[in-house]
Amino acid sequence: MRVLVVEDDASLLSAISTVVESAGFVVTGAGDGVEALECFRRDPFPVVLTDWAMPRMDGLELLREIRKQDPERYCYVILLTGRGDLTWEKGMEAGADDFLTKPYRREELLARLKVARRIMNLQLETARANESLLCTNAELKLFRERMDYELRSAVRVQRALLPSRDIQLPGVTLAWDLGTCTELAGDVCHAFEIDDQYLCFYVLDVSGHGVSAALLSAQVSRLLTPEMSWSRSGESSGERLQPIHPSQVIAELNGVFQNEPTLSQYFTLIYAVFDRERNTLRFSCAGHPGPAVLRAGRPVDQLELAGRPIGMLEGGWWDDIEVSLGPGDSFVLFSDGLTEAMNERGEIVGQARFTQNIEKGRRLDPSALCQTLMEEHRHWCGAEGLQDDCTVMVVKID
């Protein structure tokens, strides 16, 4: 460690320098405060050992000038004095770190210098640690900005997979809403024409939350399109391609998406096909709640259909149910986030309460009913917010 020794007595300067060098320090000597300040400005020293009483610029003035230099680089200053009127209190008040009265013992001087070395080494380590933290924080900031950008991009991609808010399908009036507990959802819903007779509706719910759930939901939803074999069979009946049964769609998906043991991911699905000529709804469920059906003059009919989620086990069997609907009838598809949420008292919504909410809003149009069901759900969850992704789709027969 470098030490600047300042002493106007040349013989004393030489003697002090010899003692300081014997302890392993690198010494630079200066004959007064002016010379010392010039040396310090050229290359700041971590330790300065200076006499107090000197011509041109004394030790106290030198100390004040040193303290005006770069505050980022601290200097440890030890004042030396042989005059009784130059007191310890004055030196410390001016900013000295230590004070030594002449004549002093060699061992005492070296002990004070070793303390200075320990303190300055600690400061150097702290400065290096701070610099490393600043670099790390800068890297983390760039990483966070990149991740935020990627997340926003992923959200835009996922939203592109959802039906438009003003979607129009012939023969029905449709509305939907999706609430997420994180930026990216494991829920996806869609509706589309298979051909001029059949319409398809589905709600998909991937286990878990966040990026992994969103990736799987996007992958599955890309397959559920009119162009893929999930929506049409390759066998023709006359000139019309017949849609395959919803249970076959689920079986095909289960064959494609087998759970990796390290991921522990699966998904539930309700897949429904509406025949506009026969006014029938055929659906199948894979671990998913069945639809709620609203018919004029009748209470809400909650249809249940057993079937394990997709991706848990190879093979399996899923059933279909077909129900008849008339003009003005509606059906509601939803994910279990709407029925399994707890309020602040630890009470679960439950199927019965959710069905009651549908019953209360049965006279509303699909858009208003969707909005009402989601508002009821958010009110139930309270200040904690949504605990799971939740989707609702209401379809009314024109």
Q: Please state the domain extents for the chain.
A: 2-128, 161-397
**CATH code linked to domain 161-397:** 3.60.40.10
d(CA 147, CA 155): 12
In this predicted structure, the answer to whether residue 60 has a pLDDT above a threshold of 60 is: yes
Predicted pLDDT of residue 212: 77
Range name among 1-15, 51-65, 217-231, 383-397 with the lowest pLDDT average: 217-231
Predicted pLDDT of residue 227: 64
Tell me the pLDDT band of 160, cut-offs 50, 70 and 90: confident
How does pLDDT run across 38-58, given as a tens digit for each residue? 999 998 999 999 998 888 898
Sorted by sequence, the CB contacts under 8 Å of residue 164 that are 6+ apart come out as: none
Tell me the pLDDT band of 230, cut-offs 50, 70 and 90: very low
Question: How many beta carbons lie within 10 A of that of residue 231, not counting itself?
Answer: 22
Sorted by sequence, the CB contacts under 8 Å of residue 77 that are 6+ apart come out as: 47, 48, 50, 63, 66, 95, 96, 97, 98
Does the domain at 2-128 match CATH 3.40.50.80? Answer given as no
Predicted pLDDT of residue 263: 58
Q: Comparing 248 with 240, which gets the higher pLDDT?
A: 248
How does pLDDT run across 249-304, given as a tens digit for each residue? 999 899 888 765 555 788 999 999 999 999 999 999 999 999 999 998 899 999 98
How does pLDDT run across 379-397, given as a tens digit for each residue? 998 887 888 889 999 999 9
For the four alpha carbons of 177, 180, 183 and 189, in that order, the dihedral sign comes to negative
**Nearest Cα to Cα of residue 231 among 190, 283, 203, 273:** 273
CATH topology identical between 2-128 and 161-397 = no
